[in-house]
Amino acid sequence: MAGLYVVILAAGRSKRINSKKSKLLLPLCGKELLAYPTEAALSLKPEKVILVVGGPHKDCIMKNFSRYNPVFVEQPEPLGTGDAVRKAEGHIPNDADVLVMPGDAPLIKAATLKSLVEFHREKKAVATVLTVDHPNPTGYGRIVRSKGDRILMIVEEKDAFPEERAIKEINSGIYVFEAGKLFEALRDIRPDNRQKEYYLTDVIEILQRREKRVYAFKIDNYREITGVNTREQFSEAVIYMQEEIKKYWLSQGVTFIDPRLVYIESDVEIGKDAVIYPFVSLLGKTKVGQDAVIGPNRILKDMEVPDGEELF
């Protein structure tokens, strides 16, 4: 086996976010939105990370993300997710595993991706789909199961019948494939849908019919796979990420007088037994030492607070 390759889909036009720039470049808790899935993918130590870019924001994304040393491939026209993944074929050997993920899912955890890849390999699957039961599945493709962990097909909502829309288990847009089988199936999909696009999800039905070894890897936390398409979803992502950041620092021995009234960015470091008062914002690469106290109404950006210091 040639190892793991990662394809991140970053060629969207960001129409619904109502911004002059790509939604993938919006600052989310101190880093661009696209940085989170990229860093989660890199944590798996893949052979390559391939970013599929395109549209009016292509150059800006390439400029901002060259620091991660990905391979950039272009999707000149927005012809769907299947077409986007097909653009990466020349960079991936047939005997590799390919992790495919959207660039607009910043809440996915590295541990979840690791477990997904391990499950795929344990099952000797040709394709594995990360799924979750969602309380409001509107907008997501629905998982139509076969038996046990096996998947029959994925139905996009716009093409679904009412009984399929009632299904709560949804497609996260995150997959692992056997590369050779993936690209073989991609050559056979057609834009026979209302959007006239090449759906990556059509590959699932093709592979199930040919190979049978198509599985669902179901997780519990639906918020982890939330995509960001609107300003409302962006705000929800910020709120959830703040909850996760503060939970982590609480577990590391930091005291928040009222964690609801503190904002902390993702690269901040805080020492054990530090105390953070309300209305504090810790930004950038700020480092707060052990036993330090940050009094109320403070904004610290790229600052270092020594051990035991009190700021009031």
Task: Specify the pLDDT at position 129.
Answer: 97
Distances (CA, A) of 264 to 129, 231, 245, 287: 33, 20, 7, 11
* pLDDT, tens only, 255-306: 999 999 999 999 999 999 999 999 999 999 999 999 999 999 999 999 999 9
Cβ pair 239, 4 in contact under 8 A: no
Distances (CA, A) of 191 to 82, 159, 240, 297: 10, 12, 36, 55
* pLDDT, tens only, 121-175: 999 999 999 999 999 998 899 999 988 889 999 998 888 899 999 999 999 999 9
Distances (CA, A) of 193 to 143, 157, 163: 18, 11, 19
Give me the chain's average pLDDT, please: 95
Joined tokens for residue 106: 């910043």
For residue 209, pLDDT over 60 is answered with yes
Backbone φ and ψ for 263, nearest 5 degrees, come out as -120, 125
269 dihedral zone (left: phi>0; alpha: psi -120 to 50; beta): beta
The single residue listed with the structure tokens 């918020």 is 223
Task: Specify the pLDDT at position 18.
Answer: 86
How far apart are alpha carbons 218 and 116 in whole angstroms? Answer: 9
* pLDDT, tens only, 228-266: 999 999 999 999 999 999 999 999 999 999 999 999 999
H or E stretch including 131? strand 127-133
How far apart are alpha carbons 187 and 184 in whole angstroms? Answer: 6
* Per-domain residue ranges of the chain: 4-225, 252-311
DSSP 66: G
H or E stretch including 311? strand 310-311
pTM metric for this prediction? 0.94
In this chain, the answer to whether the domains covering 4-225 and 252-311 adopt an identical fold is: no
Task: Report the percent of the chain where pLDDT is more than 90.
Answer: 88
Question: What CATH number was assigned to the domain covering residues 4-225?
Answer: 3.90.550.10
DSSP 93: -
Collapsing DSSP states into helix, strand and coil, what is residue 176? strand
The single residue listed with the structure tokens 């577990």 is 251
Helix axes 179-186, 202-211, angle to 10 degrees: 120
Length of the chain: 312
Residue 63's contacts (CB-CB under 8 Å, 6 or more residues apart) are: none
Work out the pLDDT band at 16, boundaries 50, 70, 90: confident
Question: What CATH number was assigned to the domain covering residues 252-311?
Answer: 2.160.10.10
Which runs of consecutive H residues, i.e. helices, occur in 87-197? 110-122, 162-165, 179-186
